[in-house]
Structure 1
Amino acid sequence: MIKLLGACFILLSTSAIGFHIAKNFADRPRQIRQIRGALSLLQTDIVYGSRRLDRICEQIAAREKDPVQFLFARCAEYLQHLDGVSTFECWKRSVDETWPRTAMREPEREVLTDFGKTLGISDREDQLAHLARVQTSLEVEESEAREEQARYEKMCRSLGVLAGALIVILIY
């Protein structure tokens, strides 16, 4: 009876690990799409609005889901409460703080951090050009993430279950 319980525990735990890794492959393209959508909202507000950046970030945070919501909420909070700190530093802090909550990887982080260097320091046309460049970069990363998802998601699930079954067979 204890052997059977141990075997079930091993099989369930390795399966859970496999499904968790597969979920990260599925979450990455979705989160990149979320970021792209939020940046589209930012672009629209730059074109048609004349509000401060902290208000824009608050509005985007109210419309989005986590982790993108957390990114823009933290940025808005930093912009409002950190006197004397640059917009880039506020953006970078929020990206750094949000990153462990995401399934995204280093290329997306670099794109977002580079975008923060130009955020709020130039005229409207320049901001739109930078946003277009970021959107293009994120679009490329999203397509690569979708390819990885198609290639590895199902494999990770299967490997989790099969690794558990192999361990159970070897132990018993």
Structure 2
Amino acid sequence: MIKLLGACFILLSTSAIGFRIARAYADRPRQIRRMRGALSLLQTEITYGSRRLDRICEQIAKREKDPVRSLYTRTAHYLKTLDGVSTFECWKRAVEETWPSTALKNPEKEVLIDFGKTLGISDREDQLSHLVRARTNLEVEESQAREEQMRYEKMCKSLGVLAGALIVILIY
């Protein structure tokens, strides 16, 4: 009885690990798409609005889900509270702090940080062109993430279950 219970725990734990890794492959394209949507909202606000950047970030945070919400909430907070710090530093700090809670990888991080270098320091047209470039770069990353998802998601699930079965067979 105890052997059977142990075998079930082993099989369940390795399966859970496999499914968790597979979920990261599924979450990445979704989060990139949300990030692109938030940048579209930012582009609309810059084009047609006349509010301050911290207010725009708060508005975007209200409309989005985590981790995008967290990024814009922290950016708005830093823009309000940190005197003498550039917009880029506020953006970069928010990206760095929210990054561990995302399924995104370094290419997306580099795109966002690169975009933050121009945020708030140039005229409207220049910022819009940088927004378009960032969204295009994220679109490329999203298509690559979808390819990785199709390639590895099912494999990770299967490997989790099969690894558990192999361990159970080897132990018992």
TM range (shorter): over 0.9
Residue identity in the other structure for 1:152: Y
Which digits, 9 at most, give the CA deviation of each residue in 1:70-124, with x for residues without a partner? Answer: 0000000000000011000000000000000000000000000000100000000
Following TM superposition, the consecutive aligned residue runs of length 4 or more in structure 1 with deviations greater than 2 angstroms are none
Consecutive unaligned residues of structure 2, counting only runs of 5 or more, are: none
The 3-state SS of whatever aligns with 2:84 is coil
| Counterpart position of 2:51 | 51
Structure-to-structure mapping, 1:12-161, within 5 angstroms: 12-161=12-161
Percent of pairs identical after alignment? 81
Note the C-alpha offset of 1:126.
0.1
Question: For 1:164 and 1:10, how far apart are their aligned partners in 2?
Answer: 6
Separation of aligned partners in 1, 2:7 and 2:33 = 40
Quick one: distance in 2 between partners of 1:132 and 1:71?
A: 19
- Unaligned 5+ residue runs, structure 1? none
- For 1:72 and 1:92, how far apart are their aligned partners in 2? 11
Rounded Cα–Cα distance in structure 1 between residues aligned with 2:30 and 2:109: 15
1:25 to partner: Cα distance? 0.1
SS at match of 2:103: coil
- Which residue of structure 2 aligns with residue 167 of structure 1? 167
Q: Which residue of 2 aligns with 1:7?
A: 7
TM-score for the superposition, normalised by structure 1: 1.00
Q: TM-score, normalised by structure 2?
A: 1.00
Backbone CA RMSD of aligned residues: 0.3
How far apart, in 1, do the equivalents of 2:81 and 2:135 lie?
A: 29
In the alignment, the residues of structure 2 paired with residue 113 and residue 17 of structure 1 have an alpha-carbon distance, to the nearest angstrom, of 31
For each residue in 1:109-160, what CA deviation from the matched residue of structure 2 results, as whole angstroms up to 9, or x when unmatched?
0000000100000000000000010011000000000000000000000000
Amino acid at match of 1:2: I
Q: Distance in 2 between matches of 1:31 and 1:167?
A: 34
